[in-house]
Structure 1
Amino acid sequence: MQRLTGSNAYWKWNTAYNRHSVAETAMYRVKQQFGGHLTLRDYDAQVGEAMTMILALNKMTCAGMPESLRIACGSQ
């Protein structure tokens, strides 16, 4: 039997855990901001509602990002 030591980096890499984690984090952010449920009953309408929430969250995130400028170092 092989003994597991250290981090689970190998397992995470081979099972695409990072993609799963990013998706879970994104859904957590949407639910925290807009509530944990959809209000429309029709499936197609729910898809549109969810996409609208994600678009709004992306716009809010973009609005909160600082604009940075590169400043050259050294003498000319």
Structure 2
Amino acid sequence: MLLNANLLLISMPGGTEWILIILAVLILFGGRKIPEFMRGIGKGIREFNDAKNNVKKEIEEGMNEKDKKATSAQ
């Protein structure tokens, strides 16, 4: 029984829940603030992805540099 309760807590909202969430956002922020809010979210996601890609690139460059040093030492 406890397992079923945990599954309900982590499940995704259904159609009715999404409608209620959207209505709450409209009431809280108003129609004019939503585009600005969404732009901010998009900018944040873009910055996160850029940072993630930069870290990945630095790690790959470090690994390539390490491999080059190892092959030149032999």
**Alignment TM-score, normalising by the size of structure 2:** 0.36
Q: Which is higher, the Rg of structure 1 or of structure 2?
A: 2
The structure whose RCO (Cα within 8 Å, separation 6+) is larger is 1
More helix by share: 2
